[in-house]
Amino acid sequence: MAEHEHAQPDVAGYVLGVLEPDEAAAFAAHIEGCRACRDEVADLAGAGELLARAAPAVDVPAGLEARTFAAIAAADYGPTPARRRRWDGARRLVAAAAAVVLVGVGITVVRQATEPEAAVAQVIELEAPGGGPASAVAHVRRTPTGGVIEMEVEGLAPPPPGSVFECWLVAASGDSIDRPNRVSVGTFTVDQDGRATVRWDFSADTTRFPRMGVTIEPDDGNPVHTSQRVLAAKTLL
Protein backbone atom coordinates (compact mmCIF):
# COMPACT_ATOMS: atom_id res chain seq x y z
CA MET A 1 0.00 0.00 0.00
CA ALA A 2 1.54 3.30 -1.16
CA GLU A 3 1.10 5.28 2.07
CA HIS A 4 3.58 7.81 3.46
CA GLU A 5 3.75 10.27 6.33
CA HIS A 6 3.63 13.44 4.26
CA ALA A 7 1.17 14.02 1.41
CA GLN A 8 2.69 14.66 -2.01
CA PRO A 9 3.13 18.20 -3.39
CA ASP A 10 0.62 17.39 -6.16
CA VAL A 11 -2.27 17.44 -3.65
CA ALA A 12 -2.86 21.21 -3.88
CA GLY A 13 -2.63 21.27 -7.66
CA TYR A 14 -4.98 18.30 -7.90
CA VAL A 15 -7.58 19.95 -5.63
CA LEU A 16 -7.42 23.22 -7.59
CA GLY A 17 -7.46 21.44 -10.96
CA VAL A 18 -4.25 23.04 -12.26
CA LEU A 19 -2.24 19.87 -12.93
CA GLU A 20 -1.44 18.81 -16.47
CA PRO A 21 -3.75 16.01 -17.71
CA ASP A 22 -1.05 13.34 -17.40
CA GLU A 23 -0.08 14.57 -13.92
CA ALA A 24 -3.73 14.56 -12.78
CA ALA A 25 -4.21 11.02 -14.11
CA ALA A 26 -1.06 9.81 -12.37
CA PHE A 27 -2.07 11.37 -9.06
CA ALA A 28 -5.60 9.95 -9.33
CA ALA A 29 -4.05 6.52 -9.73
CA HIS A 30 -1.74 7.19 -6.77
CA ILE A 31 -4.49 8.07 -4.30
CA GLU A 32 -6.29 4.82 -5.05
CA GLY A 33 -3.71 3.14 -2.84
CA CYS A 34 -2.63 6.02 -0.60
CA ARG A 35 -4.83 6.82 2.40
CA ALA A 36 -2.68 9.81 3.45
CA CYS A 37 -3.21 11.59 0.14
CA ARG A 38 -6.90 10.64 0.04
CA ASP A 39 -7.33 12.20 3.48
CA GLU A 40 -5.47 15.32 2.32
CA VAL A 41 -7.70 15.67 -0.76
CA ALA A 42 -10.79 15.25 1.42
CA ASP A 43 -9.55 17.92 3.87
CA LEU A 44 -9.03 20.43 1.05
CA ALA A 45 -12.12 19.54 -1.00
CA GLY A 46 -14.16 22.57 -1.98
CA ALA A 47 -11.23 24.99 -1.69
CA GLY A 48 -11.27 25.71 -5.42
CA GLU A 49 -14.95 26.64 -5.33
CA LEU A 50 -14.40 28.92 -2.32
CA LEU A 51 -11.58 30.72 -4.12
CA ALA A 52 -13.72 31.19 -7.23
CA ARG A 53 -16.43 32.81 -5.07
CA ALA A 54 -13.97 34.96 -3.14
CA ALA A 55 -14.81 38.57 -2.40
CA PRO A 56 -13.69 41.28 -4.84
CA ALA A 57 -10.08 42.42 -4.72
CA VAL A 58 -9.09 44.55 -1.74
CA ASP A 59 -5.96 46.48 -0.86
CA VAL A 60 -3.67 44.75 1.63
CA PRO A 61 -0.46 46.00 3.23
CA ALA A 62 2.79 44.93 1.60
CA GLY A 63 4.36 41.94 3.34
CA LEU A 64 1.08 40.63 4.74
CA GLU A 65 1.58 37.18 3.19
CA ALA A 66 5.04 36.73 4.75
CA ARG A 67 3.84 37.87 8.19
CA THR A 68 0.80 35.59 8.03
CA PHE A 69 2.86 32.50 7.20
CA ALA A 70 5.36 33.39 9.92
CA ALA A 71 2.59 33.64 12.50
CA ILE A 72 1.09 30.32 11.42
CA ALA A 73 4.49 28.63 11.46
CA ALA A 74 5.07 29.89 15.01
CA ALA A 75 1.79 28.35 16.24
CA ASP A 76 1.84 24.97 18.02
CA TYR A 77 0.32 22.41 15.67
CA GLY A 78 1.49 19.50 17.78
CA PRO A 79 3.70 16.62 16.86
CA THR A 80 1.15 14.31 15.20
CA PRO A 81 1.67 13.40 11.53
CA ALA A 82 -1.93 14.29 10.71
CA ARG A 83 -1.50 17.88 11.94
CA ARG A 84 1.79 18.22 10.10
CA ARG A 85 0.12 16.97 6.92
CA ARG A 86 -2.67 19.54 7.23
CA TRP A 87 -0.17 22.38 7.71
CA ASP A 88 1.95 21.25 4.75
CA GLY A 89 -1.17 20.85 2.63
CA ALA A 90 -2.46 24.30 3.55
CA ARG A 91 0.82 25.90 2.54
CA ARG A 92 0.83 24.06 -0.77
CA LEU A 93 -2.78 25.04 -1.40
CA VAL A 94 -2.01 28.74 -0.85
CA ALA A 95 1.02 28.50 -3.16
CA ALA A 96 -1.02 26.78 -5.85
CA ALA A 97 -3.81 29.34 -5.52
CA ALA A 98 -1.26 32.11 -5.98
CA ALA A 99 -0.05 30.39 -9.14
CA VAL A 100 -3.63 30.24 -10.42
CA VAL A 101 -3.97 34.00 -9.88
CA LEU A 102 -0.70 34.75 -11.66
CA VAL A 103 -1.52 32.72 -14.79
CA GLY A 104 -4.88 34.46 -15.12
CA VAL A 105 -7.31 31.60 -14.54
CA GLY A 106 -9.70 34.15 -13.10
CA ILE A 107 -9.37 33.87 -9.31
CA THR A 108 -8.44 37.27 -7.85
CA VAL A 109 -8.19 37.48 -4.09
CA VAL A 110 -6.04 40.50 -3.24
CA ARG A 111 -4.14 43.24 -4.99
CA GLN A 112 -1.11 44.99 -3.59
CA ALA A 113 -1.62 48.36 -1.95
CA THR A 114 1.07 49.74 -4.25
CA GLU A 115 -1.46 50.04 -7.11
CA PRO A 116 -2.47 53.66 -7.88
CA GLU A 117 -5.61 54.86 -6.15
CA ALA A 118 -8.59 56.06 -8.16
CA ALA A 119 -8.47 59.77 -8.95
CA VAL A 120 -10.52 62.05 -6.69
CA ALA A 121 -13.41 63.70 -8.53
CA GLN A 122 -13.40 67.47 -8.97
CA VAL A 123 -16.75 69.13 -8.29
CA ILE A 124 -17.86 71.71 -10.87
CA GLU A 125 -20.95 73.86 -10.28
CA LEU A 126 -22.89 75.24 -13.26
CA GLU A 127 -25.58 77.95 -13.29
CA ALA A 128 -27.70 79.87 -15.78
CA PRO A 129 -25.55 82.74 -17.18
CA GLY A 130 -28.39 85.27 -16.93
CA GLY A 131 -29.71 84.05 -13.61
CA GLY A 132 -32.64 81.72 -13.05
CA PRO A 133 -33.43 78.42 -11.36
CA ALA A 134 -31.35 76.15 -13.63
CA SER A 135 -28.23 74.65 -12.11
CA ALA A 136 -26.05 71.55 -12.27
CA VAL A 137 -23.29 69.87 -10.31
CA ALA A 138 -20.70 67.87 -12.26
CA HIS A 139 -18.18 65.44 -10.79
CA VAL A 140 -15.18 65.18 -13.10
CA ARG A 141 -12.69 62.37 -12.59
CA ARG A 142 -9.52 62.02 -14.65
CA THR A 143 -8.60 58.67 -16.19
CA PRO A 144 -5.54 57.54 -18.22
CA THR A 145 -7.56 58.08 -21.41
CA GLY A 146 -9.26 61.35 -20.49
CA GLY A 147 -11.95 61.38 -17.85
CA VAL A 148 -15.50 60.74 -16.70
CA ILE A 149 -18.21 63.32 -16.06
CA GLU A 150 -21.22 62.57 -13.86
CA MET A 151 -23.68 65.45 -13.71
CA GLU A 152 -26.92 66.18 -11.84
CA VAL A 153 -29.13 68.83 -13.45
CA GLU A 154 -32.05 70.69 -11.79
CA GLY A 155 -34.47 73.44 -12.78
CA LEU A 156 -33.69 73.32 -16.52
CA ALA A 157 -36.81 73.74 -18.66
CA PRO A 158 -37.19 70.98 -21.29
CA PRO A 159 -35.72 71.90 -24.69
CA PRO A 160 -37.98 72.76 -27.65
CA PRO A 161 -39.17 69.83 -29.81
CA GLY A 162 -36.37 68.52 -32.02
CA SER A 163 -33.67 69.88 -29.69
CA VAL A 164 -31.40 68.50 -26.98
CA PHE A 165 -29.01 69.90 -24.44
CA GLU A 166 -25.34 69.47 -25.27
CA CYS A 167 -22.46 69.56 -22.78
CA TRP A 168 -19.13 71.03 -23.91
CA LEU A 169 -15.58 71.40 -22.72
CA VAL A 170 -14.41 74.84 -23.80
CA ALA A 171 -10.95 76.27 -24.42
CA ALA A 172 -9.54 78.76 -21.91
CA SER A 173 -8.48 81.04 -24.78
CA GLY A 174 -12.08 81.78 -25.69
CA ASP A 175 -14.84 80.44 -27.88
CA SER A 176 -17.68 81.79 -30.00
CA ILE A 177 -20.22 80.55 -32.52
CA ASP A 178 -18.20 82.15 -35.32
CA ARG A 179 -14.87 80.84 -34.01
CA PRO A 180 -15.61 77.60 -32.10
CA ASN A 181 -12.93 76.26 -29.82
CA ARG A 182 -14.62 73.49 -27.87
CA VAL A 183 -15.30 69.73 -27.86
CA SER A 184 -18.64 68.02 -27.30
CA VAL A 185 -18.96 65.68 -24.33
CA GLY A 186 -22.49 64.44 -25.04
CA THR A 187 -26.17 65.32 -25.20
CA PHE A 188 -29.07 64.88 -22.81
CA THR A 189 -32.62 65.97 -22.08
CA VAL A 190 -34.53 66.54 -18.84
CA ASP A 191 -37.79 65.32 -17.38
CA GLN A 192 -40.85 67.53 -16.89
CA ASP A 193 -39.42 68.73 -13.57
CA GLY A 194 -36.22 69.91 -15.27
CA ARG A 195 -34.03 67.17 -13.78
CA ALA A 196 -31.50 64.83 -15.34
CA THR A 197 -28.69 62.52 -14.26
CA VAL A 198 -26.07 61.94 -16.94
CA ARG A 199 -22.66 60.29 -17.31
CA TRP A 200 -20.10 60.58 -20.10
CA ASP A 201 -16.59 59.35 -20.80
CA PHE A 202 -14.40 61.87 -22.61
CA SER A 203 -10.92 61.95 -24.11
CA ALA A 204 -10.34 65.71 -24.35
CA ASP A 205 -7.35 67.34 -22.65
CA THR A 206 -8.80 69.36 -19.76
CA THR A 207 -5.67 71.52 -19.59
CA ARG A 208 -6.59 72.77 -23.08
CA PHE A 209 -10.37 72.75 -22.52
CA PRO A 210 -10.81 73.66 -18.82
CA ARG A 211 -14.23 75.35 -19.05
CA MET A 212 -17.61 73.62 -19.10
CA GLY A 213 -20.93 74.73 -20.51
CA VAL A 214 -24.30 73.49 -21.75
CA THR A 215 -26.21 74.76 -24.82
CA ILE A 216 -29.45 73.88 -26.63
CA GLU A 217 -28.72 72.29 -30.02
CA PRO A 218 -30.81 70.77 -32.84
CA ASP A 219 -31.12 67.01 -32.46
CA ASP A 220 -29.64 66.42 -35.92
CA GLY A 221 -26.44 64.57 -35.03
CA ASN A 222 -24.30 67.55 -36.03
CA PRO A 223 -21.72 68.20 -33.25
CA VAL A 224 -21.44 71.93 -34.00
CA HIS A 225 -22.07 74.69 -31.49
CA THR A 226 -24.93 76.83 -32.84
CA SER A 227 -26.59 78.52 -29.84
CA GLN A 228 -25.91 80.34 -26.60
CA ARG A 229 -25.26 78.70 -23.25
CA VAL A 230 -28.02 77.74 -20.85
CA LEU A 231 -25.55 76.60 -18.14
CA ALA A 232 -21.99 77.72 -17.48
CA ALA A 233 -19.40 76.63 -14.93
CA LYS A 234 -18.28 78.98 -12.20
CA THR A 235 -14.88 77.26 -11.88
CA LEU A 236 -12.28 75.74 -14.17
CA LEU A 237 -11.31 72.09 -14.48
Cα dihedral 218, 221, 224, 227, rounded to 10, equals 10
Give the pLDDT confidence score for residue 226 in this predicted structure.
77
Q: Rounded to a whole number, what is the distance in angstroms from the first to the last CA of the chain?
A: 74
Answer yes or no: pTM beyond 0.85. Answer: no
Tell me whether residue 130 is in a domain.
yes
Q: Provide the percentage of residues in the chain whose pLDDT is more than 90.
A: 34
Q: Provide the percentage of residues in the chain whose pLDDT is more than 70.
A: 63
pLDDT in tens, 4-34: 554 466 777 777 777 788 888 888 888 888 8
Give the pLDDT confidence score for residue 103 in this predicted structure.
42
Residues 129 and 100 in one domain: no
Tell me whether residue 148 is in a domain.
yes
Domain limits at 59?
10-112
Assess whether pLDDT exceeds 50 at residue 235. Answer: yes
Residues 128 and 90 in one domain: no
> How distant, in Å, are the alpha carbons of 77, 119, 126, 212 from that of 169?
64, 19, 13, 5
Q: How confident is the model at residue 237 (pLDDT cuts 50, 70, 90)?
A: confident
Q: How confident is the model at residue 142 (pLDDT cuts 50, 70, 90)?
A: very high
Tell me whether residue 1 is in a domain.
no
Give the pLDDT confidence score for residue 157 in this predicted structure.
94
Give the β-pairing of 211-218 and 196-202.
Answer: unpaired
Residues 99 and 139 in one domain: no
Tell me whether residue 4 is in a domain.
no
Count of domains observed in the chain: 2
pLDDT in tens, 91-113: 555 555 554 444 444 434 444 44
Give the pLDDT confidence score for residue 199 in this predicted structure.
96
What CATH number does residue 226 fall under? 2.60.40.200
- The mean per-residue pLDDT over the stretch 120-144 comes to 93
